[in-house]
Amino acid sequence: MQIIINNSSMIPIYEQIYSQIKMLIINEKLKSNDHLPSVRALANELKVSALTVKKAYDLLETEGYTTTIHGKGSYVLKPNINLIKDEVSKDIEARLQIIVEKAKLVKISNEELYSMLKIILED
Amino acid sequence: MQIIINNSSMIPIYEQIYSQIKMLIINEKLKSNDHLPSVRALANELKVSALTVKKAYDLLETEGYTTTIHGKGSYVLKPNINLIKDEVSKDIEARLQIIVEKAKLVKISNEELYSMLKIILED
Amino acid sequence: MQIIINNSSMIPIYEQIYSQIKMLIINEKLKSNDHLPSVRALANELKVSALTVKKAYDLLETEGYTTTIHGKGSYVLKPNINLIKDEVSKDIEARLQIIVEKAKLVKISNEELYSMLKIILED
Amino acid sequence: MQIIINNSSMIPIYEQIYSQIKMLIINEKLKSNDHLPSVRALANELKVSALTVKKAYDLLETEGYTTTIHGKGSYVLKPNINLIKDEVSKDIEARLQIIVEKAKLVKISNEELYSMLKIILED
DNA sequence: GTGGTCTAGACCACT
DNA sequence: GTGGTCTAGACCACG
């Protein structure tokens, strides 16, 4: 499990763990039925509290990415890609909305916005 | 002062006040040398603690948007639009970066991203 | 009366007025028995509150630089230069003490201090 | 943590805490990565409000002397000695400027000033 | 009247 | 247990 913790980031550690594992699942680096490391093992590896890892695993489970079998650990579920794509689309739309509002405030033109997006897409 | 407080938001109240006043300044709804309402008056109006308003005013002052004269109150300074535009540009770039990464993950194409941006810009 | 008010300074206005009049007296630009402008007149001229000027005049009186005759106004007293020189000497010593402590903390050498003083004296 | 609070001083308590911790850091009595006492612990020890200590810690963080990790506490960062030395130099120059002006006013000679500095340096 | 500081205690999020 | 936020009310300095 290649997970990188940034202690000084504003993002809570449990969320960093959650979103990185989520990406591995969507990305299919972690496949259906794969076994996640135990809470304690991962906590040890990342040098964070076991409670923090537990919180991330709980989030993954409530979001439907994994399932936990008592005494055996957590297993990756088959992700519903279409559902996830819809969710991400809505999230992106909301984020674009915020960006457009911010841009208007300081009179960044539509063309400038397009070119900023273009530059990032071409990286 | 048209300021809207969302008590149940995750964003701290003082930051809501700060960013809304900041927008009024950038937007020139509040102009250079305008007098902000007193800490107590605004606290009363928004039904929050005076300390909370003060924290917002302190932020505005350290960020260079206002100046405070003891015993007289806070006054709006002339904002450096170019500096602000640069900051917003960087912020937008960072946000676009996140969006692009999310899009790639669920295989949203570049064309789809452009059209999402277009739709929002045309609203 | 050439008094300059800096509204955005950290120093209270009444103290700015006080110390500038004090200087005029020590400097002998204001001589013994000279009549200070009335509180109201000076307040009007400087565009500050009469209470603020009154506070400065009160300070001048308690420090022994002026005397006030009810119904007639404030008059400059003959300053006791030796006493003032002693006070200023003590004040300067205390300030030098603080400077030397600060310098030691960041390892500014004695020679550097001497040369800094020299440069300022030669201006 | 040897911190001394002077309740009757004009200097705010939070600033007394701030500047004393700052000195401990510059002085290397507190080293890089050292863990500061928790806000509540120090508040308890100094018999002041937790908010007052927090304000001092916030100042230390915005000035770049420490970093804070939510749920874990505040840690000392490696100070940039050159930057600090420059700041202190400017501060000292400004203070010397004031001293020189005061000295001129009461006709304290340059030689007297040098000897006052010399005496303090030799203490 | 204004801002500046401080308190004592509360609730929440993170580890 | 740690920091982050918020409250309601107090006292002081400045204008």
Does B67 contact chain C (CB < 8 Å)? yes
CA distance D61 to D72: 15
Check pLDDT > 90 for residue B123.
no
| A10 confidence band (pLDDT: 50, 70, 90) | confident
Instruction: Kindly compute the dihedral angle of the four CA atoms of residues B101, B107, B110, B112, in this order, to the nearest 10 degrees.
Output: -120
| B1 confidence band (pLDDT: 50, 70, 90) | confident
* Chain F nucleotides with an atom closer than 7 Å to a protein C-beta: 1-10, 13-15
- Cβ contact, residue pair D95, C98, below 8 Å: yes
Considering any atom of strand F, list protein residues whose CB lies within 7 Å: B 12-15, 47-52, 55, 69-72; C 12-15, 48-49, 51-52; D 36, 38-41, 50-51, 54, 57-58, 68, 70-74
From the alpha carbon of B54, which nucleotide's C1' atom is closest?
E3
Instruction: Determine the distance in angstroms separating the CA of D71 from the nearest CA of chain C, rounded to an integer.
Output: 33
| C123 confidence band (pLDDT: 50, 70, 90) | confident
Least confident of A58-62, C5-9, D55-59: C5-9
Q: What three-state secondary structure class fits B80?
A: coil
Integer angstrom CA distances of residue D99 from A34, B29, C100, D96, D110:
74, 45, 13, 5, 11
Number of alpha carbons in the 13 Å side-chain half-sphere of residue B108: 24
Give me the mean pLDDT over the C22-30 stretch: 91
- Cβ contact, residue pair B67, C8, below 8 Å: yes
Check pLDDT > 80 for residue A37.
yes
Residues C28, C67 contacting (CB under 8 angstroms): no
Instruction: Kindly compute the dihedral angle of the four CA atoms of residues A93, A98, A100, A105, in this order, to the nearest 10 degrees.
Output: 170
The pLDDT of residue A20: 94
Percent of chain B with pLDDT over 90: 92
Instruction: Determine the distance in angstroms separating the CA of D69 from the nearest CA of chain A, rounded to an integer.
Output: 7
Using one digit for the tens of pLDDT, what is the confidence trace for D62-92? 999 999 999 999 999 999 999 999 999 999 9
Q: Which residues of chain D have a CB within 8 Å of the CB of A15?
A: none
Check pLDDT > 80 for residue B105.
yes
| A111 confidence band (pLDDT: 50, 70, 90) | very high
CA distance C6 to C27: 21
Check pLDDT > 80 for residue A1.
no
- Cβ contact, residue pair C8, B70, below 8 Å: no
The pLDDT of residue D118: 95
Using one digit for the tens of pLDDT, what is the confidence trace for D87-96? 999 999 999 9
Whole-model pTM: value is 0.88
The pLDDT of residue C114: 94
Q: Choose, out of B20, B80, B106, B123, the residue to mutate when testing the contact with A (most A CBs < 10 Å).
A: B106
- Cβ contact, residue pair A96, B116, below 8 Å: yes
CA distance A7 to A22: 19
- Cβ contact, residue pair B97, A110, below 8 Å: no
Least confident of B63-67, C5-9, C17-21: C5-9
CA distance C92 to C86: 10
| C29 confidence band (pLDDT: 50, 70, 90) | very high
